[in-house]
Amino acid sequence: MTERNWGFRTRSLHAGGRPDSATGARAVPIYQSTSFVFEDTEDAADQFALQKFGTIYTRISNPTINAFEERIASLEGGIGSVATASGMSAEFLTAAALAGSGDNFVTSSALYGGTHTLFDVTLGRFGVEARFINGDEPEAYARSIDAKTKFLYTEIIGNPSGSIPDLDGIAEVARAHNLPLVIDGTFSTPYLCRPMEHGADIVIHSATKFIGGHGNSLGGVVSESGKFDWGSGRFPSMTDPVASYNGLNFWENFGEYAFCTKLRSEQLRDIGAAMSPTNAFLLLQGIETLPFRMDAHVANTKLVVDFLDDHEFVSWVNYAGLQSSPYFDLAQKYMPRGPGAVFTFGVKGGREAGARFIESLQLISHLANVGDARTLVIHPASTTHQQLSDENLVSGGVTPDMIRLSIGLEDIEDILWDLDQALHRVRR
């Protein structure tokens, strides 16, 4: 094929999805195999020593999963991706690749509750300190950096606070200190925002959400830009000889692919949080309709937000697409198509009214997920963020009356009817 800068929709369908060489199958097959035959003993030895690329064992790589990784890297604008079992494992493996005991990283406190606990408790037990800052001000990141800091971290759309960080400003701080900027892009997807275009070095997604889009498959993925200088001296694990691979040096041997190679051949290999081939296949199906679904998600969300913002029984609405939002300008800059389909609002009457509202819904599903084709609802303070202290709830932007909605693809008239009848039932 001729050289061409293919469009996003085209790459959503074709990237990584060549016809199967053995059968001619056009859809990516499910290679449901744990392991793969070597050509000979030399081929096996070279693959195990990272002297040759190949497929050894599905815990490390698999052709179906590789197709998913290639498609995500293409859409994200990165040079490579590594798929994992879930979004949480993508976060953990990334942190494990970048930091060790005695190191720290600087992160916004406006995070998904599970991420906050992973950073604060689990990584803390391994001796890695998460330095939480309130908000996403670049200056706050700069003040928290020291010689042991290994990376900066934030979510492109805070869950559930809805905060939008100044990516360009934080990236400038990261570059000034020779640190990689890691962004969780789950709520925006590469269709609405590509953080690497604004200075991010590593982008993480819970593919379980909008990328898959149908609530049927778990998966995570980590992509790298290939632009970060891992040879600055701040990352010995990238430049020191690796004993388990006969003394090779990730940065010297793999250059711009150093991080992805290390993540796959060390963290994924040893921790084993591998994506299943069947889930990779289902996620690939989701990606094929990603741009169309995201346009529809955002269109429905704007109508729902306007409806709730004017509703007499709603006390507040937090969505960066509203001009009243403090994040409106940042959302317009980084996500001109719209700041996603997840937002929060408060029901008049507080926590008890919020609970009655959820129990009064007929169409909208009450469950712990977002990014489904169906509209979903949850009360964060008592579910996804219940493990946080009152102080951490406040710093994360989680209030007792907060309701989180993930707007789906149903007829907008039906979504609005269900919200309205539930709000009126609460008042009665």
The DSSP result for 201-239, as a single string, is SEEEEETTTTTT-SS----EEEEE-S-S-TTSSS-HHHH
**Contacts for 156 with CB less than 8 Å, ≥ 6 apart:** 164, 165, 167, 183, 184, 185, 186, 187, 188, 193, 195, 334, 335
Q: Is the pLDDT of residue 72 over 70?
A: yes
Q: What is the DSSP letter of 280?
A: H
3-state SS string for 288-302: HCHHHHHHHHHHHHH
Percent of the chain exceeding pLDDT 70 equals 96
pLDDT class of 384 with cuts at 50, 70, 90: low
Confidence (pLDDT) at 390: 65
Average pLDDT in the 6-32 region? 93
pLDDT tens per residue across span 130-183: 999 988 899 999 999 999 999 999 999 998 889 999 999 999 999 999 999 999
Mean of all residue pLDDT scores within the chain = 94
How do beta strands 365-366 and 376-378 pair? parallel
| Of residues 141 and 386, more confidently modeled | 141
What is the chain's length?
428
Average pLDDT in the 71-97 region? 98
Domains of the chain and any CATH numbers: 8-286 (3.40.640.10), 291-427 (3.90.1150.10)
pLDDT class of 350 with cuts at 50, 70, 90: confident
Which of 61, 128, 66, 142 lies closest to 97, judged by CA? 128
pLDDT class of 397 with cuts at 50, 70, 90: low
Whether the Cβ atoms of residue 141 and residue 152 lie closer than 8 Å to each other:
yes
pLDDT tens per residue across span 292-326: 999 999 999 999 999 999 999 999 999 999 999 99
Confidence (pLDDT) at 59: 97
Give the predicted TM-score (pTM) of the model: 0.94
Sheet hosting strand 220-224, strand order edge to edge: 80-84, 220-224, 202-206, 181-184, 149-155, 104-108, 129-133
3-state SS of the chain: helix, strand, coil percent to 5? 45, 15, 45
Residue 60: strand, helix, or coil: coil
Q: Is the pLDDT of residue 376 over 60?
A: yes
pLDDT tens per residue across span 236-245: 999 999 999 9
Whether the upstream peptide bond of residue 160 has omega within 30° of 0, thus cis, is yes
Q: Is the pLDDT of residue 385 over 70?
A: no
- Long-range contacts from 258-262, C-beta under 8 angstroms, 24+ separation: 258/230, 259/97, 259/180, 259/202, 259/224, 259/228, 259/230, 260/79, 260/80, 260/81, 260/82, 260/222, 260/224, 261/50, 262/97, 262/237, 262/238
- Assigned token pair, 183: 């962004």
d(CA 56, CA 38): 8
Judge residue 363's burial from the number of C-beta atoms within 10 Å of its C-beta, 0-12 exposed, 13-18 middle, 19 or more buried: middle
pLDDT tens per residue across span 180-236: 999 999 999 999 999 999 999 999 999 999 999 999 999 999 999 999 999 999 999
Q: What is the DSSP letter of 137?
A: -
Q: What is the DSSP letter of 275?
A: P
pLDDT class of 355 with cuts at 50, 70, 90: confident
